[in-house]
């Protein structure tokens, strides 16, 4: 139940629940000596409009009357319409007010307005592109792995209350068994190299993985000698 000033809204999942709630509310109103205007009461409605919102079984959405009024609002054609509902922060430094107060300022034609709007849209898109370029320059692209790659993954030791400074940062090695969307990978124990009794398998993001360092074959042979 929701009440706002002298309005009371009662919601329910079924008829029986609504009947029980309505009976309790009417009982309380009677005990408090309050009365209702029957002509304004709406009972067992599937959808209602309240405070500019449409309330229905699917949730709450903006009211159609308000949204239609905004979408159909005509383009201002004079000073009064332009400043309707506009409250400048500093009237002495406000550019819009100073331009309007200039009696020599002429009204722009429709062609000039369209050109100005197109220029504003172009500037906005240019700013967005520049912001994205700056963001991408500071963030490296995620490393791409392929099926069968041998990798290490970040170690997340269980918290025991003791210092984990000397814990290894990575664990493994594991093999990439499946490439998933959004730079995610399914890794699991290397076949015939399982370190624990239970076969390990989990999904990791690219930034939580790194390639396992391996020596070239020639270096490995020299070490054996």
> Does 86 reside within a domain?
no
Give the domain-ending residue among 52, 70, 88: 70
User: What CATH number corresponds to the domain at position 194?
Assistant: 2.30.30.140
**What confidence score (pLDDT) does residue 166 get?**
81
Question: What is the number of structural domains in the chain?
Answer: 2
Give the pLDDT means over successive 10-residue stretches in the chain (225 positions): 75 80 85 83 79 77 78 76 64 62 68 91 95 85 90 84 82 91 92 79 92 60 50
**What confidence score (pLDDT) does residue 89 get?**
59
Up-side HSE of residue 61: CA atoms within 13 Å toward CB? 8
**What confidence score (pLDDT) does residue 42 get?**
80
> Does 90 reside within a domain?
no
For tokens 């792995």, name the residue: 145
**What confidence score (pLDDT) does residue 197 get?**
76
**Residue 178 phi, psi (nearest 5):** -160, 140
**What confidence score (pLDDT) does residue 220 get?**
47
Give the domain-ending residue among 70, 102, 124: 70
> What HEC string does 46-76 produce?
CCEEECCEEEECCEEEECHHHHHHHHCCCCC
> Does 105 reside within a domain?
no
**What confidence score (pLDDT) does residue 106 get?**
65
Give the domain-ending residue among 15, 48, 70: 70
Identify whether the C-beta of residue 43 lies closer than 8 Å to the C-beta of residue 23.
no
Looking at the whole model, is its pTM more than 0.75?
A: no
Identify whether the C-beta of residue 48 lies closer than 8 Å to the C-beta of residue 42.
yes
For the chain, first and last CA: distance in Å?
83
**What confidence score (pLDDT) does residue 95 get?**
64
> Does 125 reside within a domain?
no
> Does 123 reside within a domain?
no
> Does 13 reside within a domain?
yes
> Does 24 reside within a domain?
yes
**What confidence score (pLDDT) does residue 178 get?**
93
Task: Tell me how crowded residue 131 is: count the other CB atoms within 10 A of its CB.
Answer: 10
Q: Whole domain around residue 141: which residue ranges?
A: 137-157+166-215
> Does 106 reside within a domain?
no
């Amino acid at each position: 139940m929701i009440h706002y000033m002298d309005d009371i809204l009662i919601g329910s999942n079924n008829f029986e629940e609504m009947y029980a709630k309505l009976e309790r509310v009417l009982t309380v109103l009677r005990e408090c000596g309050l009365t209702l205007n029957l002509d304004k009461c709406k009972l067992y409605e599937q959808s209602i409009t309240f405070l500019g919102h449409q309330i229905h079984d699917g949730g709450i959405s903006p009211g159609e009357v308000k949204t239609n009024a905004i979408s159909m609002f005509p383009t201002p054609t004079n000073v009064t319409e332009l400043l309707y509902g506009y409250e400048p922060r500093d009237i002495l430094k406000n550019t819009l007010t100073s331009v309007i107060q200039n009696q020599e300022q002429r009204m722009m034609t429709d062609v000039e307005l369209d050109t100005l709007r197109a220029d504003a849209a172009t500037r906005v898109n240019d700013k967005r592109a520049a912001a994205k370029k700056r963001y991408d320059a500071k963030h490296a692209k995620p490393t791409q792995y392929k099926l069968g790659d041998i990798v290490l993954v970040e170690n997340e030791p269980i918290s025991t209350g003791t210092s984990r400074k000397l814990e290894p940062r990575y664990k493994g090695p594991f093999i990439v068994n499946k490439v998933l969307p959004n730079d995610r990978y399914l890794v699991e124990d290397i076949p015939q190299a399982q370190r624990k009794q239970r076969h390990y398998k989990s999904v990791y993001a690219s930034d939580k993985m790194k390639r396992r360092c391996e020596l070239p074959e020639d270096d490995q042979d020299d070490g054996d000698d």
